[in-house]
Amino acid sequence: MPVAPRPSVASVYLNRTMAALALLGFGSGLPLALTGDTIQAWLRSKAYALDTVGFITLVGLPYSFQVVWAPIVDRYSPRLGTLGRRRSWLLLTQSILVVAIAAMALFGPETPGASLWLLAGTAVAVAFVSATQDIASNAYRTDVLPDAERGAGAAVFVTGYRLAMIATGAGVLALSAVVSWRWAYLAAAGAMLIGLVGTALAPEPRDAHAAPATIGDAVIEPLRAFLARPEGWLILVFVLLFKLPDYLAGRMTMP
């Protein structure tokens, strides 16, 4: 039986879908450092105490618990215009992130009478919306790519993700030394438009409008089936908590 020829590297990587995934990866990776190491460096540069900087690490917890609302994102859709379920979520979350990251710049320590609680609350909102964007991005990548191309798609997406982390980590730190932290964060908010370009460029998956019939199908039944397995509860707790100590300790390496 003849073996089907392997597709060329160019045919796999040089196409509209992969270009969109690179941009979506950039949009997903961009907010992470802004609510992690970068905001800690900002606070330390303004002489905030280490215990305060340690407290601010908690704003990133939504990334660890996004599994809790992932079924809701899978079941429901904001249905923006003619966009499908995944791209509607991407457009909504990315648009909110542009505004929310800009708000972090305006609520930062450089603002007279700035409130740390207001900055922290805005950062929590950024982390929550960013985690929701990650859910939609991962679901979109799964829907749009055939099985044979999912490895390549993941590589392209992660490359964009890592480049964004460099931009909002080292890039924002360098820019803050030239202009100010406020303008560096505003520049990061503008860079979030790259993710919106990715959403505009992304083709619709063929099953873009398919969704679980009810919230029970999306949440209750999968969870019930999982917890019915031996040690299901133990596995769930482990998945939710096993990285938490490393996360909290690792966040203190920046200050």
- On whether residue 6 sits in a domain, the answer given is no
pLDDT of 247 > 60? The answer is no
pLDDT of 169 > 90? The answer is yes
Of 123-127, 195-199, 239-243, the range with the lowest mean pLDDT is 239-243
Backbone dihedral angles phi then psi of residue 208, each to the nearest 5 degrees: -60, -25
Residue carrying the six token digits 């073996």: 3
**What is the Cα gyration radius of the chain?**
20
Question: Which tokens hold the place of 224?
Answer: 């019930």
Look at the chain and report how many structural domains it folds into: 1
What is the reported pLDDT for 245?
66
- On whether residue 35 sits in a domain, the answer given is yes
Say how many C-beta atoms besides its own lie within 10 A of residue 75's C-beta. Answer: 17
- On whether residue 67 sits in a domain, the answer given is yes
- On whether residue 111 sits in a domain, the answer given is yes
Nearest to 22 by CA among 237, 174, 224, 197: 197
Q: Decide which of 227 and 77 is more confident.
A: 77
What is the reported pLDDT for 215?
60
Question: Which tokens hold the place of 47?
Answer: 């002489």
pLDDT of 57 > 70? The answer is yes
| Beta strands in the chain, from DSSP E residues, in sequence order | none
- On whether residue 208 sits in a domain, the answer given is yes
- On whether residue 9 sits in a domain, the answer given is no
Question: Is the Cα torsion angle 69, 72, 78, 82 positive or negative in sign?
Answer: positive
Instruction: Indicate the pLDDT class of residue 228, thresholds 50, 70 and 90.
Output: confident
Question: Which tokens hold the place of 169?
Answer: 């980590």
Amino acid type, 210: A
Helix 193-201 × helix 181-191 angle, to 10°: 0
Contact of 54 with 36, CB cutoff 8 Å? no
Region of residue 139 (phi > 0: left; psi between -120 and 50: alpha; otherwise: beta): alpha
CATH number of the domain encompassing residue 247: 1.20.1250.20
Say how many C-beta atoms besides its own lie within 10 A of residue 100's C-beta. Answer: 23
Instruction: Indicate the pLDDT class of residue 52, thresholds 50, 70 and 90.
Output: confident
- On whether residue 200 sits in a domain, the answer given is yes
Query: CA angle, 226 as apex, 222 and 232 as ends, to 5°?
Result: 155
- On whether residue 64 sits in a domain, the answer given is yes
Judge residue 12's burial from the number of C-beta atoms within 10 Å of its C-beta, 0-12 exposed, 13-18 middle, 19 or more buried. Answer: middle
What is the reported pLDDT for 162?
96
Q: Output DSSP code: residue 209.
A: T
**Which residue segment(s) compose the domain that 193 sits in?**
17-251
Contact of 32 with 130, CB cutoff 8 Å? yes
Torsion of Cα atoms, 26 then 32 then 34 then 39, to 10°: -160
What is the reported pLDDT for 252?
53
Contact of 111 with 186, CB cutoff 8 Å? no
